[in-house]
Structure 1
Amino acid sequence: MTQKPTLLILAAGMASRYGSLKQVDGFGPNGETIIDYSMYDAIRAGFGKIVFVIRAQFAESFKSIFEPRLKGRIATEYVFQELSDYMHGKEVPADRTKPWGTAHAVLCGKSAIHEPFAVINADDYYGREAFEKMAQFLQQECNDHTYSVVGYELGNTLSENGSVSRGVCAVNEAGNLAAINERTKIERENGVITFEEADGSKHPLEAETPVSMNFWGFHPSFFDIAEDQFRLFIDQNREKPKAEFFIPLVVDHFISSGKGAVKVIPTATKWFGVTYKEDAPGVKASLEQLIAGGAYPENLWK
């Protein structure tokens, strides 16, 4: 029997732009959070366990919200992301307050995960199709030299309330990731999507351009690669208070060093999330629309 994959949810980041612990804000008709819809989709797609990466100080409030909903439905584990994790004896700089980044958060899940797993952000809506395709990949194709990322169409990932940053995926003829280029200040103006370079110049991007929304599929071999790369990252960036160790850094090393390939799984699902406080009403409206269309029950966990 094929082993059920695990879902790793990154919920340790403090929501600096949004101004609160947005991971536990309710948007659904019965106070459901965005994570609730991801977990619901993961359970029906066949995931066998959910691992949350959180900050230790939020553990009790976090568990009090999600444990009653998930009890008897799927196994859960909690791991904490602390600045001192995986430092291998090196001191955390006194002026460092920011977490080390998404790849470090994933690394913190190492002790809890021994099977193929997916990674998502806590505050993004990814859609049922993406979870079904990812579950299928993790059960049938994932191995120590084949990882994956869900590629969303750029036009389906923009905010009405300001510009966004996106990891733009370059895809080769085999349908695998060739590179991820971080593009900033992406917005739609007069029907044209543009991004801005550091020099202020603007360049167009097609609406169908595949972008990463941080929905990854990994084999447990990812942890050892990430740990080695984090050690190098710390050697070079320990004294930079804002430097972050991102998942694409590890993925880029995985590809460029010839360790393996990262399959891009396409989806036409409309992504939504709360980048700005003003996005909240739109998220609520999108969920209401999905519920009205029969994608989700009115009361998710009843």
Structure 2
Amino acid sequence: MNVTLDLLIKTINTVKNNIAVVDATFNIVFTNHAWNQFGIENGLSPDFSWVGVNYFTPSLCAAREGDHFSQRAFSGLEKLKRGECTEFQLEYPCHSHNTERWFLLEVTSFEMDEQRYYVISHMDITQRVQLEMEARQQAKLDPLTHIANRRAFDNFMANEWRRCRRNAIPLSLMIIDVDDFKYINDTYGHQIGDSCLQRIAGILKQYTSRASDLCARIGGDELVVVWSHLSSQEARALAQSVLKAISQLPIDEDNSPFSDCISVSMGLCSTIPDTDDHLMLLTAADALMYQAKNAGKNTLASDSLASDALSLAQKPMPIATE
């Protein structure tokens, strides 16, 4: 079979990747249909010819302007030109004002008639990147409540503790435990129990809208809230609002006029971190939560944690009951 030039060109033009061939100085000598169409979709005239355009120049200009991905692309192309490698790959974003896209740049060198050429391919990998991003996000979420899970909470808390310690920023942690949750599951069924957790999580989301806030489910019926940049008084006022909102939720939403309401016990602890141990705040908030539960449930217990004290659980603590 004799492979003609027309057949090769038609074959390359059917490939969805944007493909160009450049010479040793990176002047373009050929572009396929996908490459040309991409240019048209981004404002170039259908009559525009890429032949003779230097592929290297835009990368160099963008790299000089400080663009991170252009700097990496320019560095890779330089290594190809110097013969330090025969191929180069780079994943990079290419977003417009209304669309997010990602591409894989692949450059491979070859020789013909004692001349060096390079095949440049840009493959749209947007779908793959979006799926990867979604998978990473899902790995941080509790599947039932769709708020952060324990792993995400642990990472966030450690980072937020360091940030607050570095900048002397107050940090508050609240633990929420559903009262008599086993009774709810046994009496109303696990579906109603799950619904209670989901609706509590919905309330917590309303009170954690800042980037420095977090709500998470860290156990079966145990949830947490992290607030920074709030005084202990401000955090306590927010916590009381949360308690009031949750206490108005019926256990059985479908039979709300006749249903008891959800009851929770909450422990809130505030501090300005000045040690490496962020777990001390969790320990203190947990102790406060149990004190609230022992005081009669549907209750908030709160206090501030002294930086040198883990003995908070043994100190008298004020309790507020809704």
Compute the TM-score of the two structures, normalised by the length of structure 2.
0.24
Q: Higher helix fraction: Structure 1 or Structure 2? A: 2
The structure with higher relative contact order (CA 8 Å, sep 6+) is 1
